Structure 1
Amino acid sequence: MRIAICPGSFDPVTLGHMDIIARACKIFDKVIVAVSVNPEKHTSFSTEERKQMLTIATKSMGLENVEIDVVNGLLADYARSKGANAIVKGLRAMTDFEYEFQMALTNKQLNPELETMFLATSAQNMFLSSSMVKQVAGFGGDIKDFVPECIAQTIKERLSIGGNKNG
């Protein structure tokens, strides 16, 4: 069985994330979407909330070969424990590549059986990031074109300044 991991902070999950996950599901028998826990990073949503949003979003897309999980530690070790042989990462720009290439080489050193596959983001998602979604939602802007519709209200309610829910 070909198992891949799509890791990320998903804070919050965007349509760009969902595009990469859906495309990975076409290539691999099983895709584990791994919510990364980084104690040094401040997140807007708890690990459990991010996991729940991903579960809702993947189910709404009908992705049946997906498992949502949490990785707390080294991704290379996690992949080994799950029997995964690939990591799938989306790339938006060259700046993404530099960081992700460094991570791929590190993971390969830690787990020689693990390959990293880079998928170029779809053109409509080139500009999209969780940080951008947070900023737009924080000021009450409309995020419906940036996040899965099934979780947009949850994201807006959490991120709107002063509870402004007009976005």
Structure 2
Amino acid sequence: MPTAIFPGTFDPITNGHVELITRAAPLFQRLIIGVAASPSKKTLFSLEERVLLAAEAIKHLPNVEAIGYTNLMAEFASQQGATMLVRGVRTTYDFEYERQLAEMNRHLKADLDTIFLMPSPETGFISSSIVREVALHKGEVSGLVPKHVEQQLLKKVNSK
């Protein structure tokens, strides 16, 4: 069974991410949650915080670990011995964007394939950016993120 990476910024990790990770975990010997530094994005949480939040969210999955990275995904995949990427797609817009990324990653690393998973209807509407926006406006985020993430998110937005 191959090693796969579920890459993302995870700012923060959501219940939608956790659902997809939980479904993907049995498909691979090892599944890495690749937490991207994403220097072009203004993240709410630091890379280190995002890795810790992700690690806590997936600790119930023995073959899954969270690792931060600062280089290209294809380079990170080579370093980790991964030949598969796992991506969630909620909409046709997501698919078009993800298809372009998959083609670029395969261009950079010929043996790197991408599989797409669709979220359940219960989590398909959740995105990190929407969760951040709701939290910044003092809206209810319980049920959208794991409990430990909710606590850290509220602490972070209340300190702003």
Task: State the partner residue of 1:122.
Answer: 120
Letter in 1 for 2:152: T
2:71 corresponds to 1:63:
no
Secondary structure, in 3 states, of the residue corresponding to 2:58?
helix
Counterpart mapping for 1:51-90 below 5 A? 51-59=51-59, 62-90=60-88
Secondary structure, in 3 states, of the residue corresponding to 1:55?
helix
CA contact (8 A) 2:5 2:32 kept: yes
TM-score, normalisation: structure 1: 0.92
Output the CA distance in 1 between the equivalents of 2:19 and 2:118. Answer: 10
CA contact (8 A) 2:58 2:65 kept: no
Displacement after TM superposition at 1:56 (Å): 1.1
Task: State the partner residue of 2:48.
Answer: 48
Task: State the partner residue of 1:104.
Answer: 102
TM-score, normalisation: structure 2: 0.95
Letter in 2 for 1:141: G
Task: State the partner residue of 1:21.
Answer: 21
Task: State the partner residue of 2:144.
Answer: 146
Output the CA distance in 2 between the equivalents of 1:28 and 1:123. Answer: 24
The C-alpha deviation readout for 1:115-151, integer Å capped at 9, x for no partner, is: 1000011111121111110111112111111001232
Which consecutive segments of 4 or more residues in structure 1 shift more than 4 A?
none
Displacement after TM superposition at 1:83 (Å): 0.8
RMSD between aligned residues: 1.2
Secondary structure, in 3 states, of the residue corresponding to 2:66?
strand
Letter in 2 for 1:66: V
Name the stretch that deviates more: 99-108 or 147-156: 147-156
Q: Count residues with an aligned counterpart.
A: 160
Secondary structure, in 3 states, of the residue corresponding to 1:31?
strand
Letter in 2 for 1:106: M
Displacement after TM superposition at 1:159 (Å): 2.0
Name the stretch that deviates more: 149-158 or 87-96: 149-158
The C-alpha deviation readout for 1:73-98, integer Å capped at 9, x for no partner, is: 11111111111010000001011001
Output the CA distance in 2 between the equivalents of 1:136 and 1:41. Answer: 18
Gaps in structure 2 of 5+ consecutive residues: none
Identity of aligned residues (%): 40
Letter in 2 for 1:15: N
